[in-house]
Amino acid sequence: FEYRFDDSLQQTADSLARQEKWFRDAKFGAFIHFGVYSSLEGEYQGRGSDFRYSEWIQISAKIPAKEYHQVAAQFNPAEFDADQWAKTFADSGIRYVVITSKHHDGFALFQSMVSNYNIVDYTPFKRDIIKELSEACHRHGLKFGVYYSHAQDWDEPDAPYLNQRATLRDIHPDLPADFDQDMDRYIQKKSLPQVEELVKNYELDLIWFDTPVGINFERAKLFSDMVRKYRPDCLINSRLIHSGKAKIEQQYLPLYDYVSIGDKEVPTTKLPLYVESPDSVSSSFGYKTKGNCYYHSEEEMLHRFVHTVCAGGNALINNGPMGNGRLDPEAVRLYGVIGDWLKINGESIYSSVRNPLDARPQWGDISASKDGQTLYLHILDWPESGSITVNGLTSAVTSAVYLTNGQKVDFAQDGDNLKLMLADEPLDKYDTVVKLTYPQD
Ligand code: H79
């Protein structure tokens, strides 16, 4: 996979300033996919579980809008506890949270005057999840953002469809034969006014747009201007206008602040712009128990996280809470693995910058301090030979210690090449970090 980034691209000064307020140092975010689909767990009347993502159930099981409304009308995550969620995230070293305020199914997790198809007005639960969670996150020192599907909305016939299986008429069988889809009518009626509600009524640090089907410059600008008008510090992601694999164009950079790479992509090369990887603890985003699904192993999860940070980005790792409102215990466990590792090795992650050397080493990856005077070697694959080499150094290394316990590591440097003699066993199961003092002029 080739990132379609051009080295000449330049972030605007405004975007850089917004990133530097907190985003670049945060590194670890919790993505949350929660909605009506969470209660179905990937299957509806025996159908639909072959799709990888449970939040796509309305399309995978071809559920007509009227029927999906009945599922929505019973959505009751009675055990939802915003403080417990926020505390769990904060305890795992997570610095920000991004939750689905409205996914492609069109159902909102916040109170909306624009559409009563929302958790407060449409369900027995009646509580505003976005309000409760935003307040809890800020109480626990976390930044708070919302995901909003601005282009797709399966509940609105005017919104464009991006799917193979279900047609517009599978979902809306009563549409008149001469119905003319009009995306701008949908934007003016629902998605733009709902974005206005979100930025006016909630303390948002970030807004995460997704799947910009049909979104051209003019349409994107409506959303960007709306966010900037009410909340000038709020970060906007690139999926406002670019899909995960689109070529990034300089002319669009003022509309958003940072680049979301593809879903679940782990960056492996140096990137010219600051990025965020929307990863997940499992194969789905929404909670899924039906059909094919898997969770990452502890090692895979931690390695994906470390590679993302070393390439110069944040990892926004998703969990899908259960329909009853409780967090998925397996997601909590995997967050805890990263959190426990960060308690010892956080210095190599938070406030770090990407690998300044030319290549990614075979044995793992490298991050650095902002002043470039410290390199952190993340040894992900412990060598049988007992040693590793670092190539491409531009000055002399003056010390090497394990971050875990401060013990010295023997090393020998020959020009731009450094050899480190390691212990017989890794000091950490998944990532032993060696801290190099590396003075630069
Ligand atoms: O919110 C999550 C996804 O639901 C959303 N982006 C992340 C953050 C997303 N929207 N569109 N896409 C991802 C790309 C479309 C994937 C699909 Fe499929 C291919 C949908 C239908 C075919 C994979 C296979 C998912 C369901 C079946």
pLDDT, tens digit, 9 for 90 and up, residues 241-273: 998 777 888 999 999 999 999 999 998 777 778
Tell me the per-residue pLDDT of 372-397, one tens digit each, with 9 for 90 and over. 999 999 999 999 999 999 999 999 99
pLDDT 10s digits, 274-307: 999 999 999 999 999 999 999 999 999 999 999 9
Contact 282, 320 (CB under 8 A): yes
Domain 364-437 has CATH 2.60.40.1180: yes
Comma-separated ranges of CATH 2.60.40.1180 domains in the chain: 364-437
Asked if residue 222 has pLDDT above 70, the reply is yes
Alpha carbon distance 151, 65 (integer Å)? 18
**Strand runs labelled E in 344-415:** 364-368, 374-379, 387-390, 399-402, 410-414
211 closest CA partner among 152, 275, 258, 277: 152
Quick one: pLDDT band at residue 1, thresholds 50, 70, 90?
very low
* Average confidence (pLDDT) over 66-80: 98
Q: Assess contact for 123 and 72: CB atoms under 8 A.
A: yes
Q: What is the pLDDT of residues 89-145, one digit of tens each?
A: 999 999 999 999 999 999 999 999 999 999 999 999 999 999 999 999 999 999 999
* Rounded distance from Cα 51 to ligand 1 centre (Å): 9
**Average pLDDT, integer, range 37-41:** 98
Is residue 154 within 6 Å of ligand 1 at its C-beta? no
Global pTM reads 0.97
Q: In angstroms, what is the span from residue 271 Cα to ligand 1's centroid?
A: 24
CA of 53 to the centre of ligand 1 (A): 7
Q: What angle do CA 198, 202, 208 make, to 5 degrees?
A: 55
Grade residue 158 by pLDDT with cuts at 50, 70 and 90.
very high
Determine whether domain 13-348 maps to CATH 3.40.50.300.
Answer: no
How many residues belong to the chain?
441
Give yes or no for residue 163 having a pLDDT over 80.
no
Q: Sort strands 313-319 and 28-32 into parallel, antiparallel or unpaired.
A: parallel
Q: What is the pLDDT of residue 388?
A: 98
- In ligand 1, the atom with minimum distance to the C-alpha of 318 is 8
CATH 3.20.20.80 boundaries in the chain: 13-348
Q: Is 105 in the pocket of ligand 1 (CB under 6 A)?
A: no
Ligand 1 pocket member 278 (CB < 6 A): yes
Instruction: Pick the residue whose CA is nearest to atom 7 on ligand 1.
Output: 263
Cα of 258 vs centre of ligand 1, distance in Å, is 21
Atom of ligand 1 minimally distant from the CA of 285: 2
CA of 211 to the centre of ligand 1 (A): 9
Question: What pLDDT, on a 0 to 100 scale, did the predictor assign at position 3?
Answer: 58
